[in-house]
Structure 1
Amino acid sequence: MTDTPKGYWIAHGRVDDPEKYDLYRAANAAPLAEFGGVFRVRGGTQEVMEGDAKPRTVVIEFPSLQAARDCYASPGYQAALQLRLGIAESDLVIVEGYLG
């Protein structure tokens, strides 16, 4: 067992143009792989039990919090992000995992 907590991107979003969103998904694949990002949740069925949430939830696991931060700040991801602007709305947090 590792003593370094993993890092996570947790996003709640809404996709307004699915065809153009596919371009964003294709473009973000390389930077996510480069930093060890693995999808744990990718827009499956969800039920909002409390509060408000957008209709799509995504959780991406990284080997560390720093890897999650570095991926987001990377030129590759920032280029992909430009493809998402205007075609989808998202709230994204980067959070440190819990070791127990």
Structure 2
Amino acid sequence: MAKGYWIGRVDVHNDEGFKPYSAANPAILKKFGARYVVRGGKFTGVEGESRARNVVIEFPDYETALACYRSPEYQENIKVRQPHSIVDLIIIEGFDGPQP
């Protein structure tokens, strides 16, 4: 079964205000069996527009990734994040087919 992923690109304009959102996420994500694949780190934007931070979070499957996003806990945490950042987030199903 293919994994599910959140792929986020983030610009934070108030680090102190953003900290409570970041601090609450691990407990929420753990409940859904998620793990960070990318959380910040060095990057080079080679095409298109970039944001200052990037995150990729892996879930057991696509449905679980959606369930986490739609959960009451995460929906409340979004309200904490929104005044302090701009976020582009997609939820996508991983590829589970033959590799090159």
TM-score, normalised to structure 1, is 0.93
Instruction: Tell me the equivalent position of 2:38.
Output: 41
Instruction: Tell me the equivalent position of 2:60.
Output: 63
**Which segments of 5 or more consecutive residues in structure 1 lack a partner in the other structure?**
none
Question: Displacement of 1:22 after TM fit?
Answer: 1.1
Deviation track 1:32-90 (CA, whole Å, cap 9, x = no partner) reads 11001100000111100111111111000000000000000000111111100110100
Instruction: Tell me the equivalent position of 2:12.
Output: 15
- For the 8 Å contact 1:15–1:89, the answer to whether it is kept is yes
Q: Among residues 47, 51, 54, which one is paired with 1:50 in the alignment?
A: 47
TM-score, normalised to structure 2, is 0.93
Cα distance between partner residues in 2 of 1:37 and 1:16: 26
Question: Displacement of 1:28 after TM fit?
Answer: 1.8
Q: Percent identity?
A: 43
**Which segments of 5 or more consecutive residues in structure 2 lack a partner in the other structure?**
none
Cα-Cα RMSD: 0.8
Cα distance between partner residues in 2 of 1:19 and 1:61: 26
Cα distance between partner residues in 2 of 1:97 and 1:51: 22
Residues matched between the structures, number = 97
> Structure 1 stretches (4+) deviating beyond 4 angstroms?
none
Secondary structure of 1:91's match? Answer: strand
